[in-house]
Structure 1
Amino acid sequence: MKKKILKNTGLLVVLSILFTFVIMNIIMYERSLSEMKTTIQSECKNLKNILDQAGEEYLTQEISDLTSSRLTLIRRDGTVLYESMEPVDLMNDHDNRPEFREALKEGRGSDLRSSETLNEQGYYYAMMLENGDVIRVSRNIDTVVKSMLSGIVIVLVLLMILGILALILVNRMAARLIEPINQLDLEDPTRNIAYEELSPLLVRIDRQNTKIREQMDQLRQNQEEYLAITEYMKDGLIVTNNKVVLSINRAAQELFDVTQEDCVNHDIITVGRNEAVKRAFLAALSGKSDERTADISGRTYQLLANPVRAEKEDVTGVVLLILDITEKQRAEMMRKEFSANVSHELKSPLMSISGYAELIENGVAKPEDVKKFAGIIHSEAARLTSLVEDIIKLSRLDEKSEQLSMEDVDLFEVACEVKDHLELKAEQQRIDIGLCGNHVIITGVHQVLYEMIYNLCENAIKYNHAGGHVWINVYSEGLKGAVIAVKDDGIGIDKSEQGRIFERFYRVDKSHSRETGGTGLGLSIVKHGALLHNAKIQVESEIGRGAEIRVYFS
């Protein structure tokens, strides 16, 4: 703005000076010409009167020196009789001069032209004498252009002086004009309006500021909502453009052990050098959705990469979602193993029942063996029934059926019921079973809690020695916690197997389980029952020194 003011002001000063110079020269020229014409006409009249009385002899060099005008006496035929500034013999006839011819006709004549002899612009005025000759008085004057050229140096000096003065003054003026504009508060431009002319602009700026603030608030709110959603996602989320990472949520940062500062506005390679991540990113950049798995830090993740397209369907970025499918894969493997184990576990008793039944049917079995075979069939059928019942129980617990209604349950009373039901079985194996503790009320499913305690106690009896002991203890822990502990002095569990005893169909002592009719699902039922009640299980055991399993209810 300052440069523009200086430029425009300088141009205005130069044009003003030049325009003034031209106009003044024209005016001065016209005035000088007018004065010159009046003077010449007066001189010519005086000379005519004198020559008419005194004769042509009056014209002498002394008379010519008395005036600065040029005097010329011309005979009627155009011959020059007298010339005050040039020798007569060098002069051409003047019969073609406009002022001469006009004087012969009208008695007087004038003309303004460039002198052929002096090559200057001159004014010529002629009057006819009484004897028919013509007296002409002329005087030269500079043309307007010549007058201007003669004053050009003065004009240039004047332009330089005025230019410097204008530069100084305009610089100061521009600084004073711009200072209030530089001091404007753009956050609140209408508070102090320095110039009235700026008022419409400042009002528009104020409205624009209000609109921008509203848009920024909306963007900030959207960003906060986006961060609130993405930061607390358990799955990793990475958003990129064509070149760099735009955002990475907390889960992804923890997964790749990076910080937001390490990744945002940096290449995707800064997130992690995992080849699967890189390939998923490149596939999405090419415009195709990509899905693949990757092993990261010992866990399995599913990578879902989708391209982000602009209006013209050009890929402008990538959204990469990282899902932890470790448990899902484990569950899938467990389901496969469970299906295989179920098939195997069902197949064994069915084959046994089928085989002995076939022997009896075909009469191959001896009469004295029929009762034995029938007993085996009955035992295998009971085992099959027990297995099916346990599978059904597990299925219900897996589904967390809505039919399992929660209620207040006294754990001590449930433990008493279990103890009563297992008394006979314990006596048959010469196992002493005891119960101690106090009444503790929790919210849960009575039948599931019964199955949990029953299976714990049944296992303690099965994997015990003749003359062994089983202790059931129910007690409270803290203000709201409850614990049920089942301890035995049986064969014990090796530490390497303690993490697997809750798997379906897993048996510590497979031969012993077969003998006692175990299905391998008892502790799985305990585990799923604990999950249903948000309880935790703790195992303490040593080989040959028995085991203690505690279930903590919060």
Structure 2
Amino acid sequence: MKKRIYKSMLLLALITILLTSFLITGFIYREFYIQMQQEIRNEALFISTGYNLIGQEVFFGLKEQENSSRITWVAIDGTVLFDNMVEAKNMENHRNRPEIADALNNGFGEAVHLSKTLGTQTFYRAVRLNDGTVLRVSATTNSVFKSVLGFIPYVALITLLVIMLTMIIANLLTKKIIFPLNNLNLENPLSNDVYDELSPLLSRMARQNEQIESQFKRLKEKQEEFNAITENISEGIIVLNNKGLILFINKSAASIFNVSTQDIINKHILTLDRSIPLQKAIETAMAGHLFENTFTISEDSFHLLVSPVKDDMVVKGVILFILDITEKQSAEKMRREFTANVSHELKTPLTSISGYAELMKSGMVQPEDIPEFANRIYNEARHLINLIDDVIRISRLDEKNIQLPFEEIDLLELATETVSRLSSLAQQKQIKLSVSGENAIVSGVRQILEEMIYNLCDNAIKYNYEKGTVDVSVRALSDNVVLTVADNGFGIPREHQSRVFERFYRIDKSHSRETGGTGLGLSIVKHSAEFHNAKVQLLSKPGKGTTITVTFRRNQ
């Protein structure tokens, strides 16, 4: 390995030096070649310009000056008239020289002559003068081959220095190769840069690591699945070890006991709640038995199911399932109260009807009193029918079991139609009914909206003074449509305002009986509004009247 590194680095360094040297030499030579040509052209231009201006006197000064360029003046027939380096009379005829011939024919000529013996090359530039004679300027420089030979000593010196540097670097790299062997990454063996002999061992280690990682990955996926299931269910789940310490608690359970899931881990279950039902549940489960009971936290009720986790009949832990049954119990309580109230409300008119009918049957009623008794029986029967109708309506609203379609309804038109049905009832108490506002479209079930408006106006009339007023208004806002029913009647005391929307709740039962109220009117209004996702707001002052506002969303 060490020898291979030495050879590779030395060879790479040698090739790099040679290639770089030749490239640099060639580039420098090319630039020098172009520069030399340009200088010869410029010099020929200057001398020819001088000759054309002052004549052959321009050559007299050139004879006495030291000049690196050779200047030759040739006649039209090729005879050399002047040369600044050699006696002109001793020179041969230049008529056939390429640069001279081109200058005589074309006005200028150029040529490059290479001397293989001296390793030099000469640049020639010939220019035809105004009188037909030819001026030639030439300059000699080393050829590219001689230039390269001149660089060889420097290249050899640089190569020697680089080889020495390469040997030092190779030695450092050898140490660097040995160092990883002492610091192998066993967690990721294939990432190690080591000898080939260790590759089979590292490959087997890599396969084992992959198997272990795969097993951990499957365990992690199962853990994530378990967390995803337990964290997104509404029931509380708590896992304990055999000492009662909390190993796991989901968000629902933490919310029930108002604790943090992280802070409560590895703490005893009784730190959550020390109620007797919970203590008894843990003791029973630790004894290996299933336990089921209910307990309360503040005003909320929960169903507790505790199951032991066994291994060969030995209890290893306990799982607690906690179900929030507050809403269920509230609904059950409401159903019981509703059933009791309905039974009571039905019993009262039935008892009256039965009593009046029994008196008439036994002949204890005078003939002239029979119409009055029949009228009472009729009124109680009407009250009974109205009560049954209201119970059916509110039951359907509770169950959302309404098959009527939604449609676009102008709330102002519907309010006007509904109020007109109550005009005779208002006239009996000389109450002034009015409808105002603007046309506003809402999406809803016409029959339900009509009952809601009817109940609001009916209540406003029944619980009002004689010669009072009931104002119904409809306003169209940017996002909402607002229905308002306001009266200047009896008003509702503050202590009753939070309960008037409850079923069968009456402020004055005797007055409700006189007016024929069932106690379900405002409850139907509330459920009708909820059915349309509307909000109901009540403002009332005793003796000054009541205002009930129903706000519908435009995009509903």
- Normalised TM-score (structure 1): 0.63
2:415 is matched with 415
1:457 aligns with 2:466: no
| Residues 1:246 and 1:510: Cα distance change in structure 2 (over 3 Å) | same
In the alignment, is the contact (CA less than 8 A) between 2:356 and 2:377 conserved in 1?
A: yes
Q: C-alpha root-mean-square deviation of aligned residues, in Å? A: 2.7
In the alignment, is the contact (CA less than 8 A) between 1:193 and 1:199 conserved in 2?
A: no
* 1-structure distance, mates of 2:444, 2:216: 51
The amino acid of 2:393's aligned partner reads K
2:124 is matched with none
In the alignment, is the contact (CA less than 8 A) between 1:242 and 1:316 conserved in 2?
A: yes
| Residues 1:229 and 1:455: Cα distance change in structure 2 (over 3 Å) | farther
1:392 is matched with 392
1:501 is matched with 500
Could you report, residue by residue, the CA deviation over 1:247-299 in whole angstroms, capped at 9, with x for unpaired residues? 22223323322212221122212333333333323333333332222221222
Could you report, residue by residue, the CA deviation over 1:177-226 in whole angstroms, capped at 9, with x for unpaired residues? 99746522234212226466654443233223333444444444444444
Segments of structure 1 that go 5 or more residues without pairing to the other structure are: 1-175
Could you report, residue by residue, the CA deviation over 1:135-160 in whole angstroms, capped at 9, with x for unpaired residues? xxxxxxxxxxxxxxxxxxxxxxxxxx
How far residue 232 of structure 1 moved from its aligned partner, in angstroms, is 4.2
1:298 is matched with 299
* 1-structure distance, mates of 2:213, 2:481: 56
Superposition pairs for residues 346-361 of structure 1, below 5 Å?
346-361=346-361
How far residue 449 of structure 1 moved from its aligned partner, in angstroms, is 1.8
In the alignment, is the contact (CA less than 8 A) between 1:438 and 1:474 conserved in 2?
A: yes
* 2-structure distance, mates of 1:501, 1:548: 13
Corresponding residue SS for 1:405: coil
How far residue 342 of structure 1 moved from its aligned partner, in angstroms, is 1.1
Corresponding residue SS for 1:184: coil
Equivalent residues, number: 378
1:209 is matched with 209
* 1-structure distance, mates of 2:342, 2:431: 31
Over 6 Å off, 4+ runs:
176-179
The amino acid of 1:238's aligned partner reads I
1:323 aligns with 2:323: yes
The amino acid of 2:260's aligned partner reads T
1:276 is matched with 277
In the alignment, is the contact (CA less than 8 A) between 1:407 and 1:444 conserved in 2?
A: yes
In the alignment, is the contact (CA less than 8 A) between 2:492 and 2:541 conserved in 1?
A: yes
Q: Which moved more, 1:465-474 or 1:253-262?
A: 253-262
Corresponding residue SS for 2:273: coil
Percentage identity across aligned positions? 51
How far residue 520 of structure 1 moved from its aligned partner, in angstroms, is 0.6
* 2-structure distance, mates of 1:239, 1:417: 63
* 1-structure distance, mates of 2:319, 2:178: 50
The amino acid of 2:391's aligned partner reads I
Q: Which moved more, 1:385-394 or 1:284-293?
A: 284-293
1:525 is matched with 524
1:101 is matched with none
| Residues 1:220 and 1:449: Cα distance change in structure 2 (over 3 Å) | farther
* 1-structure distance, mates of 2:186, 2:442: 66
How far residue 505 of structure 1 moved from its aligned partner, in angstroms, is 0.8
Could you report, residue by residue, the CA deviation over 1:419-438 in whole angstroms, capped at 9, with x for unpaired residues? 11112111112222222222
In the alignment, is the contact (CA less than 8 A) between 1:308 and 1:315 conserved in 2?
A: yes
1:188 aligns with 2:188: yes
How far residue 551 of structure 1 moved from its aligned partner, in angstroms, is 2.2
In the alignment, is the contact (CA less than 8 A) between 1:303 and 1:320 conserved in 2?
A: yes
- Normalised TM-score (structure 2): 0.63
* 2-structure distance, mates of 1:413, 1:309: 71
1:512 is matched with 511
* 2-structure distance, mates of 1:491, 1:546: 6
The amino acid of 2:252's aligned partner reads A
The amino acid of 2:273's aligned partner reads G
In the alignment, is the contact (CA less than 8 A) between 1:408 and 1:443 conserved in 2?
A: yes
How far residue 410 of structure 1 moved from its aligned partner, in angstroms, is 2.9
How far residue 465 of structure 1 moved from its aligned partner, in angstroms, is 1.0
1:548 is matched with 547
Segments of structure 2 that go 5 or more residues without pairing to the other structure are: 1-175
| Residues 1:434 and 1:280: Cα distance change in structure 2 (over 3 Å) | farther
In the alignment, is the contact (CA less than 8 A) between 2:295 and 2:302 conserved in 1?
A: yes
* 2-structure distance, mates of 1:456, 1:353: 29
| Residues 1:182 and 1:379: Cα distance change in structure 2 (over 3 Å) | farther
* 2-structure distance, mates of 1:279, 1:179: 64
Corresponding residue SS for 1:345: helix
The amino acid of 1:277's aligned partner reads L
Superposition pairs for residues 247-262 of structure 1, below 5 Å?
247-262=248-263
The amino acid of 1:345's aligned partner reads E
In the alignment, is the contact (CA less than 8 A) between 2:180 and 2:192 conserved in 1?
A: no
Larger-gyration structure (1/2): 1
* 1-structure distance, mates of 2:452, 2:307: 46
| Residues 1:463 and 1:402: Cα distance change in structure 2 (over 3 Å) | closer
Corresponding residue SS for 1:261: coil
| Residues 1:442 and 1:250: Cα distance change in structure 2 (over 3 Å) | farther
Corresponding residue SS for 1:264: coil
Could you report, residue by residue, the CA deviation over 1:398-443 in whole angstroms, capped at 9, with x for unpaired residues? 2111524333333223222221111211111222222222233333
How far residue 313 of structure 1 moved from its aligned partner, in angstroms, is 5.0
Corresponding residue SS for 1:260: coil
Q: Which moved more, 1:222-231 or 1:496-505?
A: 222-231
Superposition pairs for residues 102-181 of structure 1, below 5 Å?
180=180
| Residues 1:389 and 1:402: Cα distance change in structure 2 (over 3 Å) | closer
In the alignment, is the contact (CA less than 8 A) between 2:533 and 2:552 conserved in 1?
A: yes
| Residues 1:506 and 1:402: Cα distance change in structure 2 (over 3 Å) | closer
How far residue 510 of structure 1 moved from its aligned partner, in angstroms, is 0.8
2:533 is matched with 534
The amino acid of 1:436's aligned partner reads S
Corresponding residue SS for 1:263: coil
1:372 is matched with 372
Could you report, residue by residue, the CA deviation over 1:59-81 in whole angstroms, capped at 9, with x for unpaired residues? xxxxxxxxxxxxxxxxxxxxxxx
Could you report, residue by residue, the CA deviation over 1:426-477 in whole angstroms, capped at 9, with x for unpaired residues? 1112222222222333332222222222212211111111111112222234
In the alignment, is the contact (CA less than 8 A) between 1:431 and 1:466 conserved in 2?
A: yes
In the alignment, is the contact (CA less than 8 A) between 1:262 and 1:270 conserved in 2?
A: no
* 2-structure distance, mates of 1:475, 1:213: 67
The amino acid of 2:434's aligned partner reads G
The amino acid of 1:211's aligned partner reads Q
Could you report, residue by residue, the CA deviation over 1:470-503 in whole angstroms, capped at 9, with x for unpaired residues? 1222223442x33222222111112222221121
Corresponding residue SS for 1:454: helix
| Residues 1:304 and 1:381: Cα distance change in structure 2 (over 3 Å) | same
Corresponding residue SS for 1:328: helix
The amino acid of 1:274's aligned partner reads S
Corresponding residue SS for 1:455: helix
Superposition pairs for residues 69-88 of structure 1, below 5 Å?
none
Corresponding residue SS for 1:287: coil
* 2-structure distance, mates of 1:514, 1:232: 51
2:362 is matched with 362
Corresponding residue SS for 1:262: coil
| Residues 1:349 and 1:248: Cα distance change in structure 2 (over 3 Å) | same
